[in-house]
Amino acid sequence: MNSVLFYKVMSSFYDLLDVVYFRKYESSPRKVVNESIKSGEIILDLCTGTGTNAVNIAKKCSGIKVVGVDLSKDMLTIARSKVKKDKLNNVKFYKMDATDMRFKDKCFDKILLSLVLHETDEELAAKMINEAIRVLKDDGEIIVTEWERSDELLKKIIFLPIECLEPNPYKTFVVKELYSYFAGFGLDIVEEVHCDYSKVLRLRKNEKQ
């Protein structure tokens, strides 16, 4: 299945992830991400998909500006329908390549990469991270949400569909030592929060950047 067809199919049930894996808000990565955003900030949601993160953040505070980008027209159609339904005027979505964006250098306070990196091969992931660094303000943060395996039997069973359906890069990324991985891009992990089936990492440019 090619990527366009894959995301066309995925767009119809992508939001089920929240229903199955992130239904408990207090222990979900959505809560951690939302609480990291401050009024007045400009947020970029890379590979925004159906816009769940972007819309939730935009609803949090009218003083926040959110931009979501994705290459999937079908995903963006759903994202824009959410904006229309909630009558939001502080979030916009663009069809754009996350490895080659039409934004100026250092223009975003926070950049979100939610359940993205494990789906891409090493070369593409590197291009995406470097492009995120380019458009991130020097004092800004990249907030990465990624899957995390659990040792609990019930959670292992519930997580099986993810283990089976994720693309090949997932198998190597889920066991990757992320502190050294991101250090290779000049990024330091300043906080790691463990949530249901996932973890959230806050990254900042190190002094060498």
| H helix runs in 87-203, sequence order | 122-135, 153-165, 169-173, 178-183
* Cα–Cα distance measured from residue 184 to residue 206, given in angstroms and rounded to the nearest whole number: 11
List, in sequence order, the alpha helices (H) in the chain.
3-11, 16-20, 29-36, 52-60, 73-86, 122-135, 153-165, 169-173, 178-183
The pLDDT mean for the chain works out to: 89
Which DSSP letter does residue 82 get? Answer: H
pLDDT for position 22: 85
d(CA 3, CA 53): 22
Q: What is the DSSP letter of 47?
A: T
As a whole number of angstroms, the distance between CA 67 and CA 197 comes to 26
**What pLDDT does 100 receive?**
96
- One CATH from 3.40.50.970, 1.10.260.40, 3.40.50.150, 3.30.420.40 for 3-205: 3.40.50.150
Q: What local confidence, expressed as pLDDT, does residue 209 receive?
A: 56
**pLDDT < 70 stretches in the chain:** 1-19, 208-209
Q: How far apart are CA 136 and CA 201, in angstroms?
A: 16
